[in-house]
Amino acid sequence: MEQVLQGLMSNDNATRAACELALESAKRADPDALVVGLLGCVANTTALQTDVRHLACTLLRPLIALSSKQSLWQQLKPEAKAQVKAQLLAVVMAEKVRKISSKLSECVADLGAELHKTGEWPELLPFLFQCSKSQDPLHRSASLRTMSEIAGDLGANVFRTVLKPIYEILQSSLADPDIGVRIEALLSTATFLQLLEQPEETEMFQNLLPLMLECTGAALQQGKQVEARNALEVFLELADQSPLFFRPHLAQLIHATTGVITNAALEDGTRRLALQLLLLLSERRPKMMMKQPQFVGQLLQLTLSWLMEVQDDREWYEFADEVDTTNSIIAEESLDRVAQAFGGKAIVPVLFSYLPTLLTNANDWRQRYTGALAISICGEGCFFVLKKHLTEIFNFVKPLTGDPHPKVRWAALNCIGQMCVDYEPTFAKKHGSEIISIALQHSYDSCERVAAHCLTVLINLCEHSEKKVILPFLDSILSRVLQLLQSPNIKLVEVVVTCLSAIAICSEEAFCKYYDTFVPWLKSVLKNANTKENRWLRGKAMECLTLIGLAIKDKFFPDAREVMEEMLRTQVVSADDPQIGFIETSFGRMCEVLGRDFIPFLPLVMPSALARAAIKPDYVDSDDDSDGDVDDDDDDDDEHRETHTETVEDKAAACHVIIVYAEHVKEGFFPYVEQVAKLFVPDMKFTQHEGVRSATGASPPILIDCVLAYIKKTGQHADGQLLLQLWQYMFEGLIEAAADEPDVEVLAIQLGSIGECLDHIDRPSLTPENVQHMVEKAALLLEEWRGRRTSLQKDKRKHREDEEEIAKLTEQESFEDDVLVQLMECLCKMVKYHAGEYLPLFQQKILPLAVDMLTPEKPWNERQKALVLFDDLVEYGRERAVPYLSFFVGPMLQYTADPSQYTRQAAVFGIGICAQYLGEAFAPFVPDALARLHACVRQADSHSRRNIHCTENAISAILKICRYQSSRVNHVEATPVWLSYLPLRVDQIEANRCYDVLCSFLEQPATFQIVMGENFSQLPRVLAIFGAILSGEAVLPPRDEEDDADDEDGDGFYIETEASEEEMTLDEGVRARIGRILMGLQRPGVVPTAALQATWAGLSESHKVALQQEVATATAQQAAGPQ
């Protein structure tokens, strides 16, 4: 055995291979001898070197661990098992080398964890307790390590009966004279803390915190910073998982950690861990931390002091990439976290108390730099407070753009650029001209790093403002951009090209004027900049060209194929080539530009995209052994692995670009549909990245469209079987993913895809099993949604005085509202396409929830969505909806007067379709419904932009009642009233429905005279309506900026009511009918000549022209005969 161990450590490959074979042979031939022999080698302290014994211990561990795939324990004879257990404890007691003692503890823990459960090693626990009292610190450490390892494997329950003795062991060990034992006790205490379940147990262990803090301080006093960092990492883990654990001793913790942070004699790594601890606690429990006197100011001051450690290094001037290993760079992230955690109310007063001194300190450029940078860093976290002081802040920072020191100028420009992002579009709209002037002026700065940052300011401005801010300065900006493109500094040129991209996208068609100036240069870069040093520049040129292509497609189209072919010639020679990230996104944009002309390129770009989308993320083990060993059973530690961020980002980007291809080439993508579906459906549950789930969740309707386009163009697979198989496969993937989706934004996308697919196929497309699955999952999702909504409402009441918190909660509510909208859409599509299978399930699973949503105490949007659900039940279920009428007709009538215009609109629309489709079942409710509808139309502000949609739906409902519930209406009284409501001005669909009813009444002799009124008194009104419709006057004027302030709903939602002539298109069938009616009115004997002449004389000239033109058209069509 000794020879085999020596051979395994040999540098000779043949020797090492032979020994590996011998070891494998021993496992099969005589496992008893192998295990006992390895343990004997570990115990042989006299004849064998430490490295050999350590290797023996490393090999032994997986062989006796029952949970290991390599375990031989069950193959050992009983006497061998007994020998190993006894000798293992003896070796632990005899061992004097720390790293071997540590490895032996792991061996004992791995074996003991399983044997303790079955009672096969009763000697173990007494032995560990004995070791904890040993005079040898290695024994005490081994005891602590082994107990925590076993507890980590089996949970604290295994020790629950002896938890008090263990607590006492930990308490004494945390005060042990040996610092190694104290650190081990600290680690063990953390393990047990994470496993405790009972509050009284946690409370008992909280008493250990002062000792834990003293342990850390003792390590630092003895210069053992590695051990101290281990202790701080324990605190970080506790802060992440159980931040309230620190509350009883929080002041002591803050005092201890701030002492570490401010101690410049300590290593930066130690100080940073202490800072991370305070930051993490601030993020996890900000209110708890804010209760500590002066803590927020203290933490802010600490981060600002670290910001001031910025160095005036030469590399910065040379555009070197900044590394995150300096305290100043780390302070930037830390200050952002502080602002995000505590918000503007807590941060801004403290920050602004420092700013005047910082920004005006003439003797220290670092202070001016820190002041400007601090404002930009805190902008997002302090948004709601700082947004009230934008001009004041801008005036603070502007003078620093001319500071003598380049880094201060850079920081000031950075602050202005960040404000463009954080306060879009308000800041840019108010100060855009001045910002552009500053950026152009300082783009001539002698420091090229500062000049480049001026372009970054312009990039931010372009990306976060309207183009009208940029257009007046376009000549000046692009003239300077053209000059800077000639710079020999390639890093500067890269920024210039990015700036050019942003300007093109912002200015859109206005960029056509400059196309011939810049595009040839960009194409030249693409063709000729092929050296390694130019890879970033070439990638940015690709990006810029394709963004220009999106901005002005028609102008770019003639160059598109040449650019595409040049990109395809890109040579990628290494995995870290930056061009990789640019190429695929650029391909996606080229596909958007070329549309179906991109189809020939698909075979060239799809293999790479599919390969990247199919990758399984690499993992790294985040639980490395402290002594650097790599155990053979690492495969069993999947729970400790972390996903490589770059890999999953790459995967998400590939999924997105595949969707872009499919969306724009339609039937050309058909050959890839099945492969993409099989790739995407499993990844709808890809837990490591929401971008992957978003892309895959959005893909089904796009893939369905590709198949439909292919069927339409080729006629192949016209029976629809392929389409249905594809859809049903994707449906099951979507609904299963939605049921487990943790991110509400992704959930809304997934549910939206289900509804879109059903509509795109536009016929029954699911099996009865699919429908049942949908309804069951929808009921669960609706229950979960209600739970989240209740929690949000509770939080809003709790934080009603906190503007920042309310804004965050309102944003969350908007995401939740999207989920509810899409969920209700799915259910509406069920009744539309699968009423037979759906309605029995609806009654069981959904109806009770929907009825509860209609109760008055529910929020307006919840009531509105429930009404919409019942509206669609009537519209698509028709007579099948009659059994449910009693559940919703009362609320529907009641909510015609709801404070929310959205709820009112859903209610009045529902009344109209009930009248249309439910026949006699709805008849008893007609008088009440008409009274409520008229009240809705006649309210004082019924035709305001806020209410107009609701009002026009109410008018349409009145006409539907008159048409479909005719026997319940006094038409002589009702007709003049509803005529006075016409024409409609916003809702095109309801307008055409109303005009259809009007035409129907005029076309029928029985109702013609009722509409015209006694002695044709209503004729002027009828012709005025027709004149307004035909002349295009029946629209609202365009919205102006002053309207915006009046359109916001009290709940923070907006309704788009802007209409135009194009939007209010008159149905051609209705138009033709109006023409024929007008012709009929001119026939002798239909209308008295005097009445007709008098009416005509009272019409406006525009109405006369429109009516005459329509009569002429109708006459010509009649003369031409049927087409």
Instruction: Annotate 296-356 with DSSP letters as a single string.
Output: HHHHHHHHHHHHTT----HHHHTTPPPPTTSHHHHHHHHHHHHHHHHHHHHHHHHHHHHHH
Question: How confident is the model at residue 189, as a pLDDT?
Answer: 84
Long-range contacts of 253-261 (CB under 8 A, 24+ apart): 253/209, 253/213, 253/277, 254/278, 254/292, 254/295, 254/298, 256/213, 256/216, 256/217, 258/298, 258/302, 260/220, 260/232, 261/302
Q: How many CA within 13 A on the CB side of residue 305?
A: 12
Q: What's the CA gap between 976 and 964, in Å, rounded?
A: 18
1016-1052 pLDDT, tens digit per residue, is 999 999 999 999 999 887 665 555 444 444 443 433 3
Q: Which two tokens stand for residue 966?
A: 């005719």
922: nearest Cα among 934, 914, 933, 913: 914
**Cβ-contact 394, 419 below 8 angstroms:** yes
What is the rounded CA–CA span in Å between residue 1057 and residue 949? Answer: 7
Q: Give residue 477's pLDDT.
A: 96
**Contacts for 1020-1024: CB closer than 8 Å, 24+ residues apart:** 1020/1095, 1020/1098, 1020/1099, 1021/976, 1021/979, 1021/980, 1022/979, 1022/998, 1023/1095, 1023/1096, 1023/1099, 1023/1103, 1023/1107, 1024/1099, 1024/1103
Dist. CA 504–CA 517, nearest whole Å: 13
- Note if the bond before 425 is cis, omega within 30 degrees: yes
1067 secondary structure, DSSP code: P
Q: What's the one-letter identity of residue 689?
A: H
**Cα dihedral across residues 310, 316, 320, 321: positive or negative:** positive
- pLDDT of the residue at 237: 87
How many Å apart are CA 418 and CA 828, to the nearest integer? 44
Tokens of 933: 């509808």
What pLDDT sits at residue 1063? 52
Which segments in the chain show pLDDT lower than 50?
619-643, 1040-1062
Neighbours of 822 (CB within 10 A): 21
d(CA 254, CA 1001): 81
SS3 48: coil
DSSP-derived letter for residue 1048 is B
Kind plus residue range of the DSSP H or E element containing 621: strand 619-621
**Contacts with 314 (C-beta within 8 Å, 6 or more apart), sequence order:** none
Q: Give the total residue count for the chain.
A: 1123
Whole-number pLDDT of residue 150? 82
**Per-residue pLDDT, 1043:** 44
Q: So what's the pLDDT on residue 1055?
A: 35
CB atoms within 10 A of CB 183: 26
Residue whose C-alpha is closest to residue 587's, from 520, 525, 654, 528: 654
- Backbone CA torsion sign across 336, 341, 344, 347: negative
CA trace torsion 686, 690, 695, 698 (10° rounding): 100
Give pTM, 2 decimals: 0.78
